[in-house]
Amino acid sequence: MARVLLATIYNSYSIVASANRFSVDRIILLVDRTPNETMKESIKLIEASLGSVLKVDKVATDIYDIVGIAKQVVGLIDEIPQKDEIIVDVTSGRKPKSLALLFAAYARSKHIKKIVYVTEEDPKQIITLPKMNYTLNATQASILEITRKQIEATTVQVAQKLGYTKAIVYRNVRELLEISAIEKTGEELRLTDFGEILLL
């Protein structure tokens, strides 16, 4: 069994603190496709200080595409053997990327050991964040799939496609609206970014 640190990066302090605290065997850094000088220096520092004793991988991602980054990270998590422990560090890097990493961790919460945030004032203080997950019932998942495929679907059309009563579909649509997984304009339902993430 290996322990893997999956982290966003801008400064190196949180990566070094998490790697040491959790005795990781491997680090996967989510780097910008075009890293700036600060990020490049942080990567060099991590590779120089930790690269001789553990494996450091870099995965280039977008900066602001939360859904795209979350999908990419879910793919990374799915490639890590189930027996390995994954520590997720959301401290460093741009906030959309950190949120995408957090959402991906929620989407695969059963495979995540811990989600952490390292305080800047005291890198020894590592806060463990809740390991939440979100679950959909089968009807809700089907509604999201239909709205993903059919850009402008109405509740009546969804009920017809599923073969369910309108009452069942209305109740589930209302719950999906409440959590902002879909949005409604007039009678038309549209999938939100969060809805996309729920389907990961």
d(CA 73, CA 76) in angstroms, rounded, equals 5
- Rounded Cα–Cα distance for residues 173 and 86 (Å): 34
Residue type at position 101 = L
Q: How far apart are CA 106 and CA 109, in angstroms?
A: 5
Q: What is the pLDDT of residue 110?
A: 92
Q: What is the pLDDT of residue 4?
A: 98
- CA dist 87 and 77 (Å) reads 11
Per-residue b or e along 4-28, where b marks 16 or more CB atoms closer than 10 Å to that residue's CB = bbbbbbbbbbbbbbbbebbebbbbb
What's the full length of the chain, in residues?
Answer: 200
Q: In the CATH hierarchy, which top-level class contains the domain 138-198?
A: mainly alpha
Distance from C-alpha of 147 to C-alpha of 177, rounded to nearest angstrom: 13
Q: What is the pLDDT along the chain (200 residues), one digit of tens a residue?
A: 999 999 999 999 999 999 999 999 999 999 999 999 999 999 999 999 998 899 999 999 999 999 999 999 999 999 999 999 999 999 998 999 999 999 999 999 999 999 999 999 998 899 999 998 788 999 999 999 999 998 778 999 999 999 999 999 999 999 999 999 999 998 899 999 999 999 99
CATH class of 3-129: alpha beta
Q: Where in the chain is the domain with CATH 3.40.50.11700?
A: 3-129
Q: What is the model's pLDDT at position 169?
A: 94
What does the angle CA 199 – CA 167 – CA 172 come to, to the nearest 5 degrees? Answer: 20
What is the structure's pLDDT at 165?
92
Q: List every span in the chain annotated with CATH 1.10.10.10.
A: 138-198
Which pTM was predicted? 0.86
**Residue 192 CB coordination number (10 Å):** 18
